[in-house]
A and B are shown apart, each in its own frame.
Chain A
């Protein structure tokens, strides 16, 4: 009986067959694994670590020794003490983004529509600076902008430079930021202009819009995804940058948040929690600004 039942059971199961194994479904996860592990190990873990540091308190009388705590006061003191630096970071990054846009748009436009056979060469010129170190190029700018250098001496001769110096002023820092992040502005704008169908721009002229109106109502709106990407790629790293302020600015009036974070971490004894709190505040600030910006100017492609 039991043998019969067993046989019957087996006979019943046979037509259904074993479940078909869906092969390959794990492959995407396997491909994701190295990247995910890397991010977990070198981004998420340090981020959590940094966050805990930002809430630590110091052992009174033992500078450089901390204990785990939920000291929100770190944020308050960091914000009140270094508010001018935050302001300067946003201002300098904003100015650099603006100037980079003003320089990059005509350049990208020329590359996309007017360059013809020179397009490749122009592209190389935009990318070529990447072959040299960021630091070296910034130091070179110190030479260019120095008091004896060509720019400052010409401006001084013309009496167009009130303070007599460019280096150690905000101008040098903004110039350095503009220069260093220019390619990040040029390339996305170029890509979006280059993608635009020339017939669509011709259609603007065909529909009674003169050159400028066509640019304003057709070409510029069509390149907005590139402009948005370019401004983000310039503004975000420029806000956190400290190299330009360090090498081209002065100790007093041009320090940015990046410089404060750097010195709190490496120079000020017991500055770890402050530096961590500053880092987190900066991150939150940029995220909030970018969110508002993308909501306002973003297209469907980015959201």
Chain B
């Protein structure tokens, strides 16, 4: 096939910028995705993640920068010339073709003799061989999604791109497909790049997560590492929940920084702080905080607070409390004790946490949302799981 470029190796983006007239969707992005890894691009709508994906697919050309697979420069080549396939958000199945012909489309275009057999094998992989003779409109959303995966996978692309492929599915089906996609990726060993705004989806599936915001990557790394130690306030907000507060470095104590957070002195491990002195944003995860009636001794950091709300969910209890600065924090207690502490709204309590669990990120000047940032509630309310996620293009 004319123009087709064989390429093998890591996917590399070098200083890629994409501007749509005035709007810069992707800003000087550099990135390396190791061959065979499951990579997630996570970010809110309009952060440039889908534009990045479309540039890798060849559906958009970068304004500047280079896109390579291995040592082959793919910049400027058309989508049909690249060893890259996409699972579109809306699945984009060919409505006039049967499921088998949909899946066989790629192999046929590449002139493979056994296109039909390959298509059947790919349908086997997504467990839909019995639907091969149907048309796309006769399939449910979840089935269409699997066909879209099969249609891309059958080509054994060097890189498989998934553009919010689970956005239109309901929660249960989505969980099921997450497991399924992860299984397929392990089975075929291809590089998967998964674009999503669902942080939980990104964390459960990917080996490496890159959090994007305003066309740039804020932080990149394994999910657990990113959750444990966010490097920016945006990541602390977007990946999981964080209790954040503005603070001022007032002293040092060996390995620790001593920080004044609205009147309370707290300690932060130096290596867990991105800032050595001056103003910073202090943070601690809700499940790392313990709640007590009386001031605890010997734990490290503590702070007084007033209970605002108690919600019991069996396994755990979530408390909302107000701290001295007026901010609301969230505390997540596992119900390990036989006798619960039985708090009511209005009770004065003490919160404590291990100084090695806290983290500090630079104060970007942006106002911290008042109190506990319920970040995994906020994106969900923007895009409920059943509604198709907004396309993040201008």
Residues on A facing B (Cβ under 8 Å): 197, 199-200, 202-210, 213-214, 217-218, 221-222, 224, 299
Contacts and interface: CB of A to CB of B under 8 A. Distances in A.
Interface in B78-104: 78-80, 84-86, 88-90, 92-97
18 contacts: A200-B95, A202-B59, A202-B79, A203-B92, A205-B59, A205-B79, A206-B59, A206-B80, A206-B84, A207-B106, A208-B1, A208-B4, A209-B109, A214-B80, A217-B105, A221-B94, A222-B95, A299-B96
Classify the secondary structure of A's interface with B: helix
A218 B78 contact: no
A210 B78 contact: yes
Contact of A218 (B88, B94, B151): B94
B41 to A, nearest CB: 18
A221 B85 contact: no
Contacts of B84: 206
A209 B3 CA distance: 11
Given A207-B85, A207-B106, A217-B105, A202 B1 contact: no
A207 B59 CA distance: 12
Contact of B92 (A197, A208, A213, A221): A197
Interface of B: 1-4, 57-59, 78-80, 84-86, 88-90, 92-97, 105-106, 109-110, 151-152, 155
A208 B110 contact: yes
Contacts of B109: 207-209, 213
A301 to B, nearest CB: 10
A199 B88 contact: yes
B206 to A, nearest CB: 22
Nearest to A225: B96
A200 B93 contact: yes
Contacts of A214: 80
Contacts of B85: 206-207
Contacts of B110: 208
A217 B94 CA distance: 10
A204 B86 CA distance: 11
A209 B102 CA distance: 13
A92 B230 CA distance: 74
A200 B90 CA distance: 9
A207 B115 CA distance: 13
Given A206-B58, A217-B105, 17 more contacts: A197-B92, A199-B90, A199-B92, A200-B93, A200-B94, A202-B88, A205-B59, A205-B78, A206-B57, A207-B80, A207-B109, A207-B151, A208-B4, A210-B3, A210-B78, A221-B97, A222-B96
A238 B79 CA distance: 43
Contacts of A209: 80, 105, 109
Contact of A200 (B57, B92, B152): B92
Among B84, B88, B155, find the residue whose CB has the most chain A CB atoms closer than 10 A: B88
Given A209-B109, A218-B94, A203 B4 contact: no
Contacts of B105: 204, 207, 209, 217
A221 B106 CA distance: 17
Contacts of A199: 88-90, 92
A218 B93 CA distance: 10
Nearest to A208: B109
Nearest to B85: A206
B266 to A, nearest CB: 50
A217 B57 CA distance: 20
